[in-house]
Amino acid sequence: MTFWKMKVVIIQRKEGAYLNALELRPTLLGEIKEARGGDPELEKIKNDVKRGKSPGFLIQEDGTLIFQGRSCVPNKETLKKRILEEARNSPFSIHPGGNKLYKDLKQTFWWSNKKQEVAEFVARCLTYQKVKIEHQRPAGLLQPLSVLLWK
């Protein structure tokens, strides 16, 4: 998935173009770190981790909450929607199905009720609806109806 923002500055000269500056920084992970303070569910989990009650969760040195190697995302709709759109529009997996999208996000991010939110996101997407495969048997040839002799 492409969760990185790249800023490239090119200076054009008569001899040709030269790469002047290249800046690469994580954008979504930075937004997650900024938004983590306002979520009461994550704060409760952090307090449980400090008391040793939440197995699988860790708190990193910068204060980021991690669950089994995945970043915990605060319960902010705009942030989750941005993550889903970024994963859907990735050049490496253009419009994957709902299961593939969930499995890709499962490797990197954790939030409660993620599977249902991914399913709802896929159901609302117009592109997903257009390319949806019909899981029905082909109808076959038409069979004519027999003609009745009387009413």
User: The domain 19-130: what is its CATH number?
Assistant: 1.10.340.70
Q: Say which residue, 103 or 35, is predicted with more confidence.
A: 103
- pTM for the model stands at 0.64
Q: Whose structure tokens read 């994580």? A: 26
Query: If you average pLDDT over residues 1-6, what whole number do you get?
Result: 48
pLDDT of residue 146: 87
Can you give the chain as a three-state secondary structure string? CCCEEEEEEEEECCCCEEEEEEEEEECHHHHHHHHHHHCHHHHHHHHHHHHCCCCCEEECCCCCEEECCEEECCCCHHHHHHHHHHHHCCCCCCCCCHHHHHHHHHHHEECCCHHHHHHHHHHHCHHHHHCCCCCCCCCCCCCCCCCCCCC
Neighbour tally for 78: CB within 10 Å: 9
Query: Which value, in Å, is the radius of gyration of the alpha carbons in the chain?
Result: 24
Q: Tell me the percentage of the chain whose pLDDT exceeds 70.
A: 76
Please report which confidence band the pLDDT of residue 44 belongs to, taking 50, 70 and 90 as the band edges: confident
How is residue 31 written in tokens? 């937004």
Q: What is the pLDDT of residues 51-102, one digit of tens each?
A: 888 888 888 887 788 888 888 888 888 888 888 888 887 766 666 678 888 8
Query: If you average pLDDT over residues 123-144, what whole number do you get?
Result: 79
Neighbour tally for 56: CB within 10 Å: 11
- Residues forming a β-bridge with 4: 26
Of 21-25, 32-36, 137-141, 143-147, the range with the highest mean pLDDT is 143-147
Neighbour tally for 66: CB within 10 Å: 15
pLDDT of residue 3: 43
